């Protein structure tokens, strides 16, 4: 944890919060000169065993059924799937092609349209750079949103350096794009629209079918980063007119280091390969396929297709339990993103008058993620939260709760109790909270610099 200090100047008192390593020290100084010192060291609270895991948007655990399917290919079935001259290669190739079919079935695609990659980051790079460069001689305009994953935004910036024009569409306070704005942004020079299906920070679901219909009517290719959506919500590339889709294995209880990209064959989408080699995967992604990982991804998709409805209903129940439990006991808690159009497994909450990084450290027995990105020099609020118009103070106080297939009621209840306890404790130490309790509107205060 980087050492950082947050100073807030107030007319009658000031509050200093110092965070060093895994401890938190709070000091409050009053105008009378008397110093009141309160200290809370989270090292004093030792978790019993490993922390609970509530960070399903970062990664998911490997489903034991996936591991069972992978094990033979980590031991006895070690053939190269591209070896066509002997049985070892044939048996591995058969397993790889079954996995390709399982992935295709999950999204309503043809198995020939599935290309294996190392993950969604590589898939996004292939989609954005590959389409952009292939059609770049005639079309040098790409449209994306301000809330995309960093790999999409950085790929777009790389193309900007090559002379492309990139339009970064804004989103409303719910995190949704405006279809009217997208329509106006498309020009005869536009080759690709890239919009993620489910946002990884606030869980908002974009209107895939409407976007796809608009892009198809304008004869523009539509790519979606579906790493957070595949296997969690129903997706059909034909019904939604999706031309390219990025998939990640470890977000759907599969292994890390494997993913896929769907590339439509009719009407055909052409991409320029960003990696040279032996021409595997239709020449789009050269390199020997890691058969155990491929088989694991296929099995994860097969399970997701069968259990998607059950998982969604279960996670929806846990999400409501979590939100009601926290908001029923704490005031000044805001859910970021539109709850009506969000995936329930991603719950992003802002706790006013509490600094998110401090709350994360206090909740060290629950694995969570903050909406704030901690840099070496400063605490910058998440660009996604900034894009939806969240106040900077609230953006700094955001926590993302990620619920998954293996999350239990007891884990949710434990997280509720701990969150309420530590938010209350941290607020008690804050002069801002004290002022709000006294009915003072802190937004009207003239802040001084120290």
| Residues catalogued as catalytic | 374
Residues contacting 233, CB < 8 A, separation 6+: 197, 198, 205, 308, 312, 343
Question: Which of 11, 41, 46 lies closest to 26, judged by CA?
Answer: 41
Separation of alpha carbons 173 and 168, rounded Å: 16
- What SS3 state is found at 226? coil
Give the angle subtended at the CA of 125 by the CAs of 135 and 271, to the nearest 5°. 30
Q: How is residue 413 written in tokens?
A: 């209840």
- Cα Rg, the chain, nearest whole Å: 24
Q: Beta strands of 318-436 (E only): which ranges?
A: 333-335, 346-351, 366-367, 369-370, 372-374, 379-381, 398-402
**Residue 260 burial by Cβ neighbours in a 10 Å radius (0-12, 13-18, 19+):** buried
Per DSSP, helices labelled H in 208-344 are 208-217, 291-327
Q: Are 322 and 412 in contact (CB under 8 A)?
A: yes
Q: d(Cα 320, Cα 342) in Å, to the nearest integer?
A: 12
Burial of 340 by CB count in 10 Å (0-12 exposed, 13-18 middle, 19+ buried)? exposed
Cα(43)–Cα(393) distance, rounded to whole angstroms? 27
């Amino acid at each position: 944890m980087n050492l950082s200090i947050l100073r807030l100047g107030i007319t009658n008192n000031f509050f200093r919060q110092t965070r060093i390593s895994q401890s938190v020290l709070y000091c409050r100084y009053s105008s009378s000169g008397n110093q009141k010192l309160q200290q809370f060291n989270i090292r004093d609270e030792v978790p019993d065993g490993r922390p609970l895991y509530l960070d399903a948007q970062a990664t998911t655990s490997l489903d034991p059924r996936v591991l069972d399917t992978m094990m033979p290919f980590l031991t006895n079935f070690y053939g190269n799937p591209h070896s066509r001259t002997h049985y070892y290669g044939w048996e591995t190739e058969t397993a790889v092609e079954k996995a390709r079919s399982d992935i295709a079935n999950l999204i309503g695609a043809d198995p020939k349209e599935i290309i294996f990659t190392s993950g969604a980051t590589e898939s996004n790079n292939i989609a954005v750079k590959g389409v952009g460069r292939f059609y770049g001689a005639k079309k040098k305009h790409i449209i994306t949103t301000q809330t995309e994953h960093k790999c999409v935004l950085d790929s777009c910036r790389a193309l900007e350096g090559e002379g492309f024009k990139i339009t970064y569409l804004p989103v409303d306070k719910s995190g949704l794009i405006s279809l009217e704005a997208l329509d106006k942004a498309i020009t005869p020079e536009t080759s690709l629209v890239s919009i993620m299906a489910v946002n990884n920070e606030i869980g908002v679901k974009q209107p895939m079918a409407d976007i796809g219909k608009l892009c198809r009517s304008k004869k523009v290719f539509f790519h979606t980063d579906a790493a957070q959506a595949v296997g969690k919500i129903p997706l059909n590339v034909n019904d939604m007119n999706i031309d390219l889709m990025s998939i990640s294995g470890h977000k759907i209880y599969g292994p890390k280091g494997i993913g896929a990209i769907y590339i439509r064959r009719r009407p055909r989408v052409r991409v320029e390969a960003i990696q040279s080699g032996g021409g595997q995967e239709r020449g789009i992604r050269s390199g020997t396929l890691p058969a155990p990982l491929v088989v694991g991804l296929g099995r994860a998709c097969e399970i997701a297709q069968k259990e998607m409805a059950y998982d969604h209903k279960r996670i929806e129940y846990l999400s409501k339990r979590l939100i009601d439990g926290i908001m029923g006991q704490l005031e000044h808690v805001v859910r970021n993103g539109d709850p009506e159009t969000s995936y329930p497994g991603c719950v992003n909450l802002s706790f006013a008058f509490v600094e998110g990084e401090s709350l994360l450290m206090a909740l060290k027995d629950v694995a969570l993620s903050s909406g704030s990105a901690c840099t070496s020099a400063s605490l910058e609020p998440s660009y996604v939260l900034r894009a939806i118009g969240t106040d900077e103070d609230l953006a700094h106080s955001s926590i993302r709760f990620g619920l998954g297939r293996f999350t239990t009621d007891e884990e949710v209840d434990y997280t509720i109790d701990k969150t309420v306890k530590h938010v209350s404790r941290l607020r008690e130490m804050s002069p801002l909270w004290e002022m709000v309790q006294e009915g003072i509107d802190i937004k009207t205060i003239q802040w001084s610099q120290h």
